[in-house]
Amino acid sequence: MVSISQCFSESYAEARTKFCGAAAEAGGALRSYFNPHAKGPDGGNLYLDTARFGPADAANMLVMISSTHGVEGHCGSGAQIAWLRTGGATKLPKDTGALLVHAINPYGFAWTRRVNEDNVDLNRNFVDHDKGYPKNDGYLAIADAILPARWDDTSIAETERTFAAYAQKHGAFGLQGAISGGQYTHPDGIFYGGAKPTWSNRTIRAIAREELGRAKRVGLIDYHTGLGPFGHGELICTVPPGAKSFARAKAWYGDEMTSPEGGTSTSAIVAGPMLDSFPQELPDAEVTSIAIEYGTYAVPEVLGAVRADNWVHQRGDLKSTLGRELKANMKERFFPAGDKWREMVWTRADQTIGWTLKGLTTG
């Protein structure tokens, strides 16, 4: 009997050991990609690992990705390892393979951050960097409140007043969009999209071409946490509603699927999501993608944890009592303690994987 809770890990290093072990035991072909730009908090090297299953020329490919937002890798890694340990690789349909991408953002996973080693949010980095960047006037209006000079009761109260005033004028969802939609003007801020493609961006594109170039149909699942009701996995389609792949995703996931652009998602509309890279790199394949967003705590708590984490890395002291408290809070907001949440994560993941495989093999 597989313990689902034991499939989840308390650290990047533990998760990597479990993933590589489970993938090898399941007969997967493992590859490791060394990140030369960063080290873990223990000084150790950081790697993106992949495990591939099924025929090399499989027409259908299931792809699962963890840790686009580093700290959220606790969730995605756990789901990937649960799939491996429950025999998922042995249940793949005919002419169907699977590719598991573990810790696409190993720095963020290791350091309990959403961002990568450049303070870049990967899900805002997959824009065309040769063109002008999307504007976010809302972020500009409240940037000083997002990253205050100090982190104490007085500054927190001032920030709340600034946010409340903005929300009164633009609505609560308008505030969420201003903060989290993505920005390209403040490299020391949050939800920063970067000024060039990151290492993770370049690496995942190379992996897509290498591992999926022969596939005719690709079904993608990207694991996220932090929005929505506790333990619920919202299935978010980030492509525009007019796209052909949107209609396919709707056919696969039905009314369970939500759309930021369609106004049915808890997520703001995001510029430059990671999933955009796959149809760009695989123009001859039918690519259908979904992000699972698992709820944890209330949105203001989650965004507060992100701001606090950014502050402690930009202006605080990680070794201080406050620094340790803020890091612990960050982890809990994106990876709640206890077995119940983990079991809910796997139940929804297992269901979604089933829908994806059915879609891949039946059209």
Residue ranges of domains in the chain:
5-128+198-296+335-362, 137-180+301-330
Grouping H, G, I as helix, E, B as strand and the rest as coil, residue 239 is coil
Distance (Å, whole) CA 85 – CA 313: 36
Edge-to-edge strands of the sheet including 217-230? 29-34, 47-53, 96-102, 60-65, 217-230, 286-295, 233-236, 257-258
Residue 195 predicted with pLDDT over 90:
yes
Amino acid at residue number 192:
Y
Residue 363 predicted with pLDDT over 70:
no
Average pLDDT, the chain: 96
- Rounded to 5°, the CA angle 326-331-334 comes to 125
Identify the bridge partners of residue 257 per DSSP, sorted by sequence position: 235
Residue 161 predicted with pLDDT over 80:
yes
Tell me the pLDDT tens digit for each residue of 288-342: 999 999 999 998 899 999 999 999 999 999 999 999 999 999 999 999 999 999 9
Tell me the pLDDT tens digit for each residue of 63-113: 999 999 999 999 999 999 999 999 999 999 999 999 999 999 999 999 999
Averaged pLDDT, 239-268: 90
Residue 142 predicted with pLDDT over 90:
yes
Query: Residue 350's pLDDT is what?
Result: 98
Query: Residue 264's pLDDT is what?
Result: 81
Identify the bridge partners of residue 157 per DSSP, sorted by sequence position: none
Residue 276 predicted with pLDDT over 80:
yes
Tell me the pLDDT tens digit for each residue of 44-71: 999 999 999 999 999 999 999 999 999 9
Going from the C-alpha of 203 to that of each of 93, 98, 175, the distances in angstroms are 28, 18, 33
Distance (Å, whole) CA 218 – CA 319: 44
- What's the pTM? 0.96
Torsion, Cα 342 266 221 115, to 10 degrees, reads: -80
Which residues lie closer than 8 Å to 46 by C-beta, 6 or more apart?
12, 34, 35, 38, 39, 40, 103, 106, 107, 110
Which residues lie closer than 8 Å to 43 by C-beta, 6 or more apart?
none
Provide the b/e sequence for 202-220 (b: ≥16 CB within 10 Å).
ebbbebbeebbeebebbbb
CB 352 within 8 A of CB 290: yes
Topology classification of domain 5-128+198-296+335-362? Aminopeptidase (3.40.630)
Residue 260 predicted with pLDDT over 90:
no
Distance (Å, whole) CA 35 – CA 64: 20
Tell me the pLDDT tens digit for each residue of 126-139: 999 999 999 999 99
Tell me the pLDDT tens digit for each residue of 35-48: 999 999 999 999 99
Amino acid at residue number 310:
N
Distance (Å, whole) CA 279 – CA 285: 7
